[in-house]
Amino acid sequence: MDLGELQKFVENLLSDNIVYAPMKKEAKVFVSPINNFAEIDWTSELPANSFKSVFLPPEEILWKNAGKKFKTAFASKKTIALAMNVLDLQAFTLFEHVFEKDIYYQRRRQNTFVVGFTAGLPDDFRKYKIFHADYEENVLEHLIFDIFIEKQKNGNFIFFSGSEKGQKLLEENNVKDYEHIEFAGLVPESGMNPRLIANRKAVELSFNDKLWDELAEICLACGKCSVVCPTCFCFNLEDDPQLNGVERKRQWTSCFYPEFSKICGNKKELAEVKKKLYFWYYHKFVRIPEELSYYGCVSCMRCFNVCPVGINIAANLQRLAKNQQK
Amino acid sequence: MKNNYAYELARVIKVVRENPITNTLHLKLANQKRFQFLPGQFVQIGIPGFGECPIAISSAPQDAGKFICLTIRGVGELTKKLLTLKAGDIAFVHGPYGNGYPAVEKNLILIAGGCGFIPLVSVYENNKNRKDIKIQILMGCRNENLLLFRKKMQQAQMKHDLNLILEETLSKSFAAQKGLITDLLKKNKLLANATVFVCGPPAMYPAVVKKLLELKVAPADIYLTLEKRMHCGVGICQHCAVGTKYVCKDGPIFSYEYLRTLSEYQY
């Protein structure tokens, strides 16, 4: 398929869906709602934000209540997450497992098409400092998506389907030339990624490592890292009283926020910044790998990019691993 | 797919005032006849506009087909509001959640600090008539006014080895000593071959666990109930994570055998 045909395909999608895709704005690429094909960035540059809010909105209403009556409204807008890079697809694959039994997530997912994209590894891919997740050869087999598009060196595009839903959409759009890839589970046949195991080991028993004290000295506990992180999915349930009843909302939160661990008597388990930092890393490198044998961090380095004091997750992992060997 | 965030309506059928700041609500759930739970499990109870919170079930599992009891101390906005519920009112609940206490196969020691007696009373009710095990209760409370389940305590004191210690004053209605829960551990001979269930404020755990270990109780025989902030109740929202587990889903009851592997619980 050439660029013209891709444009036709995407324009068809644009006609009756809300489409989110990477878009160049000034010097950076951002995931944004788009209106036409020309807005889409096809360079494979990692967007500054992730696709997280498409699948887990920063705020959603779970129900409205008045008296004994509860009204539940599920998301129904037809949405497409278009040109999702492999790292964000990894984070999405994690969400698919974490929110497997969450009715609000699943209803939204029913109305959402996930279209991955790669233009191959960017020439300067070293800048991604891939330290945890891998670009493996058979990467697509272990990712969840409906359609995946790969840009070849000659400028043409090849298509893959990853679900029946994706196959149907391709057929409806007269795309006949595609390969179907069956999801082969989170863990490759060869076993869990050794890097995932090594990073887990480095973090798990590291609470007394000096690194955490040093980071706590500089960390502002602003929570920007967790907002931008594609695998952070902590949330609060909050009640919002309205004139005609109450809305219960699910809202993003962060383990860096002061009320995250507050219990009665104003006691906070995560009162010290050191504990917050350790909790955040533990979630990514120990708890998620233990629960799902999968990445809790996809190496996107967005946390480093937004950190006001330059906390570098890749460098910290290296240091913990080194200290652990001592 | 079940909506985990939806409530079931429950009818408040009776309210018992335990002490000036604590009520026990007797609730009849919509699906009460089919309702089952294990001692130590909890439900989320809420009032729209005030949020929801986890509350341990304090009644006997044998009564689950008829009603459940939630014993609530008014310490925050929601719990104070819950104290205003009276017989005939509607309550909003969902659950039960959590793992519950393991089945009791040895002698049983219950160590409770203050409100910590709430989930343990369900364990006690479930095991009190057993002939094959002995039960010992060590209970600490700030003062007599804050005691819970007085009738059950009186019955327990007749039937089992119940030891009460009060921090501030002596009791007029119960045989009690003055001091802290750890003093009871020093003064009383613990039952041998026993499982120990401990529930109380977090500050109580290091001292109690240290003492139990000194007394050669195996970490695998010590179970602690953890209290953490919770939102979802099903192990997603991350607030209640403890190590690689969640208090809402894998807890709230954890063996010390597991907890001692985590840096924050190495007493």
> What is the CATH number for B15?
2.40.30.10
Give me the interface pTM, i.e. the ipTM. 0.91
Residue ranges per structural domain of chain A = 3-56+74-189, 195-325
pLDDT (mean) for A186-204: 89
**Each residue of B75-93: pLDDT tens digit?**
999 999 999 999 999 999 9
pLDDT (mean) for B99-110: 97
Among B223, B226, B140, B221, smallest CA distance to B177 is for B140
From the list B2, B50, B76, the residue facing A264 with the nearest CB is: B76
Q: Is B32 found in the same domain as B140?
A: no
Residues 6+ apart with CB under 8 A from B267: B205, B206, B209, B210, B213, B260
Structural domain that includes position B17:
8-97
Q: Is B242 found in the same domain as B137?
A: yes
Q: Is B167 found in the same domain as B61?
A: no
Q: Is B125 found in the same domain as B47?
A: no
Count structural domains, chain B: 2
**Alpha-carbon gap, residue B142 to A302, rounded angstroms:** 50
Residues 6+ apart with CB under 8 A from A23: A29, A30, A31, A32, A34, A39, A40, A41
The percentage of residues in chain A with a pLDDT greater than 70, rounded to a whole number, is 95
Q: What is the distance in angstroms between the Cα of A155 and the nearest Cα belonging to chain B?
A: 42
Q: Is B128 found in the same domain as B212?
A: yes
pLDDT (mean) for A6-25: 93
Whether B240 maps to a domain, the answer reads yes
Find the chain B residues whose C-beta atoms sit closer than 8 A to any C-beta of A: 1-7, 9, 48-52, 75-76, 79, 90, 202, 227-229, 231-232, 234, 236-239, 241, 243-244, 263-264
pLDDT over threshold 80, residue A125: no
**Each residue of A142-165: pLDDT tens digit?**
999 999 999 988 889 999 999 999
pLDDT (mean) for B137-147: 93
Q: Do A264 and B243 touch (CB under 8 A)?
A: no
**Residue A14 confidence class, pLDDT cut points 50, 70, 90:** very high
Chain B positions in Cβ-Cβ contact with residue A286 (cut-off 8 Å): 243-244
**Alpha-carbon gap, residue B153 to B176, rounded angstroms:** 12
pLDDT over threshold 90, residue A44: no
**Alpha-carbon gap, residue A273 to A267, rounded angstroms:** 15
Find the chain A residues whose C-beta atoms sit closer than 8 A to any C-beta of B: 62-63, 65, 68, 70, 72, 98-99, 101-104, 106, 205, 207-208, 233-239, 241, 245-246, 248, 250, 255, 260-265, 267, 269, 279, 282-283, 286-287, 290-291
**Each residue of A273-312: pLDDT tens digit?**
999 999 999 999 999 999 999 999 999 999 999 999 999 9
Q: Is B248 found in the same domain as B128?
A: yes
**Residue A189 confidence class, pLDDT cut points 50, 70, 90:** confident
What is the pLDDT of chain A when averaged over all its residues?
A: 91
What's chain A's length in residues?
Answer: 326
pLDDT over threshold 90, residue A75: no
The percentage of residues in chain A with a pLDDT greater than 90, rounded to a whole number, is 76
Q: Is B62 found in the same domain as B183?
A: no
pLDDT (mean) for B8-14: 95
**Each residue of B167-176: pLDDT tens digit?**
987 777 788 8
Question: A with B: how many residue pairs have Cβ under 8 Å apart?
Answer: 86
Give pLDDT, residue A120. 75
Count Cα neighbours of B16 within 13 Å in the Cβ-side half-sphere. 15
Chain A positions in Cβ-Cβ contact with residue B79 (cut-off 8 Å): 264
Give pLDDT, residue A239. 96
Chain A positions in Cβ-Cβ contact with residue B263 (cut-off 8 Å): 205, 207-208
Q: No. of H helices and E strands in chain A? A: 12, 13
